[in-house]
Amino acid sequence: MSAEIQFPGAATGATHYFIVRNAIGQPYDSVTSAFQAYLTANYSGYVNSTSEQGTNSNYFVGNFPSIGAASGGVFNVVAKRQTGANPAESDPNVATNEFHWNGSLQVPQAHLTTSGQLGQAIPLRLARSVAVSGFPFYMVSSTDHVTPFTSGVCSGQVSRDGGGFGALQSGLVVGAYSEIGLGWYRCNLSSGDLAGNQLILNFQAVGISGGAADPVNLYIPMQRTSGQ
């Protein structure tokens, strides 16, 4: 996709750009392709360019940077107007907003799995470092991306707070995954699996008689329980 970032500018014809920050205020540095602790000397690396639509619209658009699924989530985007020859910290802000990103697409918050609700139909309480039994997920065939995938052998991975993916601890137990039916499966999630502020769960399945399911990716911002 492109032009995910959109905002009215401070003045038509002016140069505008935007900066992306994660949940702990680190800006995304296009030089290192990673979120970094803020340094004034690295300011130019935080800048993402925009262009004005038409010739006098005062409406600017820009492409969200290539932040992969492991770092997907909720970000803060600040749009600024450049006042000098080069971008500078002192450039005035013109717009700011939250931006929800799943690693490849902008998604509305209702489409993200949250720790109070799975999707839009299955209430399931999730809290940081609190084990959950019977976590459900739905799989479809990779052949047509529609048909419910049945008789699958499942596996799962988790990324915590932007780290690398690793196997679900609970998934290493024999019989950890069970089929509910009609493409639905369930597994238990251990307290270690859920030990993070922002999680990405990835589930995969192959058929007993061949074939595979489309991978299922879920982003989950975790809640804390009392005392955490």
The C-alpha atoms of residue 48 and residue 20 are separated, in whole angstroms, by: 8
Please tell me whether residue 27 adopts helix, strand or coil conformation: strand
pLDDT digits (tens), the chain, 228 positions: 578 899 999 899 999 999 999 888 899 999 999 899 999 999 999 999 999 999 999 999 999 998 865 555 788 999 999 999 999 999 999 998 888 877 666 765 544 454 444 343 344 567 888 888 889 999 999 999 989 999 999 999 999 888 889 998 876 665 688 999 999 999 988 888 998 888 999 999 999 888 999 999 888 888 766 554
What pLDDT was estimated at residue 213?
Answer: 93
What pLDDT was estimated at residue 110?
Answer: 46
What pLDDT was estimated at residue 175?
Answer: 65
CA 17 to chain centre: 22
What pLDDT was estimated at residue 125?
Answer: 61
What pLDDT was estimated at residue 1?
Answer: 54
Pick from 109, 107, 48: which is nearest to 79 by CA?
A: 48
Instruction: Give the pair of three-digit tokens for residue 212.
Output: 């595979």
What pLDDT was estimated at residue 176?
Answer: 82
Domain boundaries, given as residue ranges, for the chain: 5-101, 113-221
The C-alpha atoms of residue 58 and residue 70 are separated, in whole angstroms, by: 34
CATH 2.40.128 fits 5-101, yes or no: no
Bridge partners of 101, per DSSP, are 73, 106
Please tell me whether residue 164 adopts helix, strand or coil conformation: coil
Distances (CA, A) of 148 to 81, 113, 127, 137, 214: 49, 20, 29, 12, 10
Distances (CA, A) of 150 to 25, 40, 134, 147, 178: 43, 54, 18, 9, 11
Residue-wise DSSP of 71-117: G-EEEEEEEEE--SSS--TTSPEEEEEEEEE-SSSB--GGGS-BTTB
The residue assigned the tokens 């992306």 is: 20
What pLDDT was estimated at residue 123?
Answer: 46
